[in-house]
Amino acid sequence: MGKTHLMYAIGRALIENHGSMRVIYTSSERFMNEMIACIRTNRMPQFHHRYREADVPLIDDIELKSTLFIVFVNG
């Protein structure tokens, strides 16, 4: 079983055991594309809100995009 399968299983288990928990699962590619689009269209507050409001943001393969993730976290 790979890392993606494990992450997905963790997300599903959290949702099943804690129904009110807000879990967002996305790929690092989608995360990065969303961030770039929001920067270009001046919608970074909405982007920050989407991911910071999640109880558990699961971003697959984020180690490949760690610099962009640091930028997001430090906002």
What is the structure's pLDDT at 54?
94
What is the structure's pLDDT at 32?
85
Dihedral sign from CA coordinates of 40, 38, 48, 28: negative
| pTM as predicted | 0.73
User: How many other C-beta atoms are found inside a 10 Å radius of the C-beta of residue 14?
Assistant: 16
Q: Token digits for 13?
A: 């288990």
Euclidean distance between the first and final Cα of the chain, in Å? 34
Q: What is the pLDDT along the chain (75 residues), one digit of tens a residue?
A: 688 899 999 999 999 999 899 999 998 889 889 988 999 999 999 999 999 999 999 988 877 656 665 665 665
